[in-house]
Amino acid sequence: MVQRILWALFAALCLWVATPAKAQKTEDSTTALDSNDIKRLMLQAYFDSVDKTIGYLHGTVPVGDVADVQLKTGYKFIPMDKAQMILHDLWGNPKRDDILGMVVKEDYKLSDLGAWAFVVSYEDDGYVKDEDADKIKYDELLKQMQEDEVESNKLRVKEGYPEVHLLGWAAKPYYDKTTRVLHWAKKLQFGDEADPTLNYDVRILGRKGVLSMNAIGTVDQLADINNHIPDIVTMAVFKEGNKYTDFNPEVDKVAAYTIGGLIAGKLIAKTGLAVLLLKNIKLIILALVGGFAGARKRIAGLFSRKKKTDDTSKYGPSAEELADIERHNQQQANDNTQA
């Protein structure tokens, strides 16, 4: 589905680029759309098309075998497969198998690339002891994390992703011993982006592991995210037998890290998630176009073919999409001739 939408979007972009300037003019030049406006509209149409396929969930949503997300009014849930597609294919993050879904506001749409979202994941590393929670010096921990990011960034660059730098705390870590919930916020710099990204981490400790709800957004959204934290930290609930208080030292595994290690561990390689913002429209379009650069000859051949009833290509447009493209090509040709 995503591949077909991408092909359709790229086809539309090719047609727009190839259209002579005189065919793009309107009678009133003051109301004409510039190139960025057209790209923005195309991108919004693409994301709106994907958005219709998500199948948002409400009510109580099981996440894995150990917990549920009990959604409150004003929120909805993006299922696991769609969440992984959004994070990897649309937002350009490394693939992660532990992603269980995403919690977003009820009015959330994919085309609103500036909206924040909480990514839900779970790691069964064992029972995390919390005895050190009151002893951690978070400023010293921050410095150590910044020093450790060098090795993590080598791995990211090797895998084709930009470096990520921890600029500082957006909100210092806080651990609630009553609810066994830990949360903190980081300011991260992805590559050469001018504006930092906000990662707000919520960790809910369980008997056999940690349930994570990791918000990604912009630093100026911190106040809004903070307003939703009371809801977020109470929506994820471990099932009976999997709660922190159900720990059995005789049979259960203990994690190799404590609260301090939970904050510092896997900082960049695993929890450094980013969302592409709408203001980075040029980068997004270039990324989409660049992904098809090696297939331009194949695309050109497809555009000139007649509709095939037996088209079953996995990676190219469907027969219906090819027909639409041909009709669009013919209309453009007629318009150019009349012009």
Sort strands 99-105 and 75-78 into parallel, antiparallel or unpaired: antiparallel
The model scores a pTM over 0.85: no
Q: What is the pLDDT confidence band of residue 110, given thresholds at 50, 70 and 90?
A: confident
According to the per-residue pLDDT averaged within each range, which of 122-126, 203-207, 212-216, 284-288 is highest?
203-207
Name the segment(s) of the chain with CATH classification 3.40.1000. Answer: 60-275
Angle at Cα 279 formed by Cα 277 and Cα 285, nearest 5°?
85
- Name the least confident of 170-174, 241-245, 320-324: 320-324
Helices (H) and strands (E) in the chain, counts: 10, 10
Q: Tell me if residue 69 falls in helix, strand or coil.
A: strand
For domain 60-275, give its CATH number from 3.40.1000, 2.40.50, 1.20.1260, 1.10.8: 3.40.1000
Return the residue matching tokens 């007649």: 306
Report how far residue 16's alpha carbon sits from residue 291's, in angstroms, rounded to the nearest whole number.
18
Does the pLDDT at position 176 exceed 60?
yes
259-286 residue pLDDT tens: 988 888 643 334 445 444 333 444 444 4
Q: Which amino acid is at 38?
A: I
Report the phi/psi class of residue 76: left, alpha or beta, with left for phi > 0 and alpha for psi in -120 to 50: beta
Is residue 27's pLDDT more than 90?
Answer: no
- Mean pLDDT, residues 196-206: 88
